[in-house]
Amino acid sequence: MSTELSKRKRYRETKKGDRVKLQKLEQKHVRIADLDTDKPALETLGESGKIKMPKKRYYRQRAHSNPFSDHSLDYPTSPDDMDWTKLYPYYKTQDGKISKQVEIADIGCGFGGLTVALATQYPESLILGMEIRVQVSQYVEDRLLALRENSRVKGEYQNAAVIRANAMKFLPNFFKKGQLSKMFFCFPDPQFKQRKHKARIVTTTLLSEYAFVLKEGGIIYTITDVLDLHNWMVKHLDAHPLFERLDKDWEEKDDCVKIMTVSTEEGKKVSRNHGSKYIACYRRVADPEL
């Protein structure tokens, strides 16, 4: 067991070294493929000259993390203090600012399946995956760096990024009022025990925060394989005055519903086990007149 753990640690350390080198190049808007000389020595560079995709088995971690635990997290004091150019260097302007705002948030993005799929579906939008687990967020970061570097299409996957963050605590620190157009909650922790229900990602208090960062007409997407959790989320969203449920016809026609049903790693596992997937989507309505 200890041998396997040390092997996983060595692999992640190697990827970390390559990650730092790639990030430095990205800040200069340079790709390895564009360099004729002085190419950086990368441990995970394949014979074809492409970056090897990270291996998920070396980043394994517990399926869920306690959102109320103390975590060593970096977060801005306000959205204006957030330096998005570190995550999206491709969109850094000459004056050092970001040319676009994040519009789509994948909350609890896991291993990044949905975040990656949305990047090509919405190439003009900035997409952010938020994940609280250390090793899982590192995997998504390495995955996106490899996809960016290996892509033959200029700028592909540059619109997607991941950040290690606790969305239940610090979401308004990252996003301004009405900034987001879409939020995804895919297969969140069911928190089965009743005393743990307060830790579910959908509660009355949290929905008010989601309504704050969502623009009018923005959509909340939820999907789970746990019927009790689905009913809980529907109950709370139905009761909130700033959300209205979208019908099944809308769901069947919406591209994002199709993508989130098949793109996440958890969703693929549910499909392999022939499990059920419960979907509910809600539109952010206008603030009531005072």
| Burial of residue 194 (number of CB atoms within 10 Å: 0-12, 13-18, 19+) | exposed
160 annotated as ligand-binding: no
Q: Which residues contact 158 (CB under 8 A, 6 or more apart)?
A: 88, 89, 90, 91, 148
266 annotated as ligand-binding: yes
265 annotated as ligand-binding: yes
167 annotated as ligand-binding: yes
132 annotated as ligand-binding: yes
Active site residue 189: yes
166 annotated as ligand-binding: yes
Contacts 24+ apart (CB under 8 A), 155-159: 155/90, 155/123, 156/119, 156/120, 156/123, 157/116, 157/119, 157/120, 158/88, 158/89, 158/90, 158/91, 159/88, 159/90, 159/91, 159/119, 159/122, 159/123, 159/124, 159/125, 159/126, 159/127
Instruction: Give the whole-angstrom CA distance, residue 137 versus residue 162.
Output: 7
Q: Which residues contact 122 (CB under 8 A, 6 or more apart)?
A: 103, 104, 159
186 annotated as ligand-binding: yes
Catalytic residue among 18, 106, 142, 189: 189
Quickly tell me which residue has 């070396």 as its tokens.
58
Annotated binding-site residue numbers: 108, 131-132, 166-167, 186, 264-266
The residues annotated with a catalytic role in the active site are 189
As annotated, the binding site for S-adenosyl-L-methionine includes: 108, 131-132, 166-167, 186, 264-266
